[in-house]
Structure 1
C-alpha cells in the first residue's frame, strides 16, 4: 500500500470540508461542529494555519489541521484529524499525526495540544503512544459548552 501525506493548500478547502464531514458521519456525535464544516471556515484556517492530506494509492482519504494556540505561537493545537471509514483499521491516521509532529519540530514549536471528545475516549491510547499526556490543567478553547468537556492532551517537543 502506497501511503503519502502532503501539505494542503487554499485550493483544497472544499475537499477538506467534505472529508471532515464524511469522516465524522456515523462516528462522531451529531452535535459536533465537524458535521457542519464549511468551505469558508476551512479557507479562513488555511490562510493562517496548516493542514495535511493523507493519500493512499493517490486517493485522498484523510486530513488533519493545526493552528497556533491563541496564547502562545510556539504551541500548536491539532484538530479535525480523520480518515474515511473505508480506510480505517490500518493505522493510517498515524501518518497524519507524524506529519504534524515533524512539521512542528521543524519550525521550533515547543508543544502540541489536542482535545479528545468525551464520546471518542478510545483515541486517548493512540495519542499516548505518540507521547501525548493528559493535561487536566488545560482548557480547550473551542469546546462546545453544551457538551461534556473534552480531554486535553499535550506533547512537549525538544
Structure 2
C-alpha cells in the first residue's frame, strides 16, 4: 500500500499527538523543562494565540510528526522553529524534511525574514536536517532551555534597507 503524507494546520484533535510526539524525544534524550510543559500542555495559549503556527504531519491519516513556529521575543527574529518531533516508528522517511520545508514556507508567507532554533549537539540527525534546510550555527544568544547547546538561524527574505 502506498503511504500518503499530508501536512495540516494544528487543531484540537491533534492536541494529544503534539504533546506525545514531543514528550517522546524530550524524555528519550533529556528531561522535560518548565518551558516544555507550558507549550506542550497549552499550545493554543502559548503558541497559536500569540500569532504562531503548528504543523501536523499525517501519514495515512495518523499524526506522526509535528513542528511549531513560535513568535520570537528576540527582535532579530520573527519566529523560533520549535517542538519538532517525528515518531521513531517512521523516522528515515523524509517526514522531518517535509515538515521543515512546510514550516519555513509558512514562516515566509507570514512575513518572516529570519527564523532561529535551539537544539542539542547529541541530536545529530536533527542537526543534519536543519543544515539541509539552510540553517547555520550562531553564537551568543541566551536560552531558556538547559539542554540547548547549539543555536541556528536561517534568513528567508533579503532584508530591504
Q: TM-score by structure 1 length? A: 0.82
Displacement of 1:117 in angstroms is: 1.5
Q: Which residue of 1 aligns with 2:9?
A: 7
What SS is found at the alignment partner of 2:92? coil
Contiguous gaps of at least 5 residues in structure 1: none
For the pair 1:33 / 2:36, whether they are aligned, the reply is no
2:107 and 2:151 map into 1 onto residues whose CA distance is 18
Unpaired runs of 5+ residues, structure 2, are none
In the other structure, the counterpart of 2:22 is: 20
Q: What is the rounded CA distance, in whole Å, between the counterparts of 2:59 and 2:84 in structure 1?
A: 16
Shift of 1:25: 4.6
* Shift of residue 13, structure 1, vs aligned partner: 2.4
In structure 2, the residue matched to 1:154 is 153
CA drift at 1:15: 2.9
Secondary structure, in 3 states, of the residue corresponding to 1:108?
A: coil
- Report whether the alignment pairs 1:44 with 2:51: no
Tell whether the 8 Å contact from 2:81 to 2:117 is kept in structure 1 after alignment. yes
C-alpha displacement of 1:84:
0.7
SS of 1:114's equivalent?
strand
Distance 1:119 1:32, change over 3 A: farther
Structure-1 separation of matches of 2:37 and 2:19: 5
Residues in 1 aligned to 2:82 and 2:33: alpha-carbon distance in whole angstroms = 12
Which of structure 1's runs of 4+ aligned residues deviate more than 4 A? none
Q: Secondary structure of the equivalent of 2:49?
A: helix
Within the alignment, does 1:99 sit opposite 2:102 as a pair?
A: yes
Q: Deviations over 1:114-151 (max 9, x none)?
A: 111133244222211111111113333x222xx5x420
RMSD, matched Cα: 2.3
Cα distance in structure 1, aligned partners of 2:78 and 2:123 = 23
CA distance in 2: counterparts of 1:69 and 1:40, whole angstroms: 19
Instruction: Report the counterpart of residue 73 of structure 2 in structure 1.
Output: 70
TM-score by length of 2: 0.81
